[in-house]
Structure 1
């Protein structure tokens, strides 16, 4: 589905995605995760399982970690969306956080369900343990922003995550802190979607 908005369409990993997942798994295994929770969409499950196989953990699935549901926009390219839904597209470009795409979810709803899923999964993690959350780019971005208590209008300051890259959050005295973002391609340079 290259160049198409996937949303919650259940698209499996291709050969490149499987290779990226294997590379990611070898790197994240060094974190010695205590638990792994994943979106139930097959591309996330397969990615999570690559890590689980190395660290010998089970993967807990939670549909709260799915990508944003974008309704009638799912499967369309950016050009197709602009052509078919010009007013809706323009409104969304002005306010990503509160405008529905294709009759689907708004980012605030995605953050609500995803952060709730993360909080459920954290209950199973021992003190000083590490939870690995396998989700999707848009869901990760709005969840991280919510956990960091960023104002809604500021979620865009976080660049999107590249495939099989990750962010690291740690608990501080005043809440969550962002320790790394869009990591995973090192020692090569990390590029976000804003280059």
Structure 2
């Protein structure tokens, strides 16, 4: 191998859960256990059919209802078992949870502004983003390490938890993680294994990937 690490060609698909009532009301959910709406179930069903075409080898999920129910739609197609992990839950945000964005800015405007500037903030007295990455990223990496060469892992989780996990796996500085845009309900991001580690192949995708045709693949 000429001293170079072997690239195993694995992929990680980080899949956000379907729609909830609190999503529609634009309420900060955090670790509150909110179920999917009927629309959310339909979204999960549709996206599961697409992700099944990637022939995943393993599925892990947050244990919160909205993520677990989303993962179950892929389980029903693939027959794979899903492993649920508390560590893949959304950020705990204390008193912010249950509030709308407008209410958060009205009551905790300075804290909100500091967070948006990329400062380490315990939103609502809850977790730091780096603490979420500390718990979520190792679960994802352990599951990816167990994949066969060329294998695919699907991770059913939450928008904020996915963002910080991507940031950690890509080796980005925490204050830059906000530069990764949000995920729509039941959309996903794909990390592929390259010669220099994990790299972002797709972000906020809702269709199957097309091959990259060009010099910069």
TM-score (norm 1): 0.90
The answer to whether the aligner puts 1:116 opposite 2:138 as a matched pair is yes
Question: Which of 107, 130, 135 is the matching residue for 2:152?
Answer: 130
Residue 64 of structure 1 aligns to a residue in which SS? helix
Structure 2: where are the runs of 5+ without partners? 1-21, 209-217
The match for 1:48 is: 71
Using the TM superposition, give the Cα deviation of residue 117 of structure 1 relative to its aligned residue in structure 2, in angstroms.
1.1
Residue 123 of structure 2 aligns to a residue in which SS? coil
Using the TM superposition, give the Cα deviation of residue 28 of structure 1 relative to its aligned residue in structure 2, in angstroms.
0.1
Q: Matches of 1:86 and 1:129 in 2, distance apart?
A: 44
Using the TM superposition, give the Cα deviation of residue 78 of structure 1 relative to its aligned residue in structure 2, in angstroms.
1.4
Residues 52-61 or 77-86, more deviating: 77-86
Using the TM superposition, give the Cα deviation of residue 154 of structure 1 relative to its aligned residue in structure 2, in angstroms.
1.5
The answer to whether the aligner puts 1:153 opposite 2:175 as a matched pair is yes
Q: Matches of 2:117 and 2:97 in 1, distance apart?
A: 20
Using the TM superposition, give the Cα deviation of residue 153 of structure 1 relative to its aligned residue in structure 2, in angstroms.
2.0
Asked whether the 8 Å contact 2:118–2:178 carries over to 1, the reply is no
The answer to whether the aligner puts 1:12 opposite 2:35 as a matched pair is yes
CA offset digits 1:7-47 (Å, max 9, x no partner): 01000000110010001100000110000000000000000
Query: Which of the two has higher C-alpha Rg?
Result: 2
Residues 21-30 or 153-162, more deviating: 153-162
Q: Which has the higher contact order (CA 8 A, sep 6+)?
A: 2
Asked whether the 8 Å contact 2:62–2:85 carries over to 1, the reply is yes
1:3-42 superposed matches below 5 A: 3-42=26-65
Q: Matches of 1:143 and 1:42 in 2, distance apart?
A: 20
Structure 1: where are the runs of 5+ without partners? 187-195
The match for 2:161 is: 139
Residues 152-161 or 102-111, more deviating: 152-161
Residues 81-90 or 51-60, more deviating: 81-90
The match for 2:214 is: none
CA offset digits 1:118-151 (Å, max 9, x no partner): 0222243222211101110011111111111112
Between the two proteins, the alignment pairs up a number of residues equal to: 186
CA offset digits 1:66-117 (Å, max 9, x no partner): 0000001000011211222233233323335x11101001111111111011
Question: Which of 80, 105, 111 is the matching residue for 2:103?
Answer: 80
Q: Matches of 2:108 and 2:191 in 1, distance apart?
A: 37
Q: Matches of 1:126 and 1:94 in 2, distance apart?
A: 40
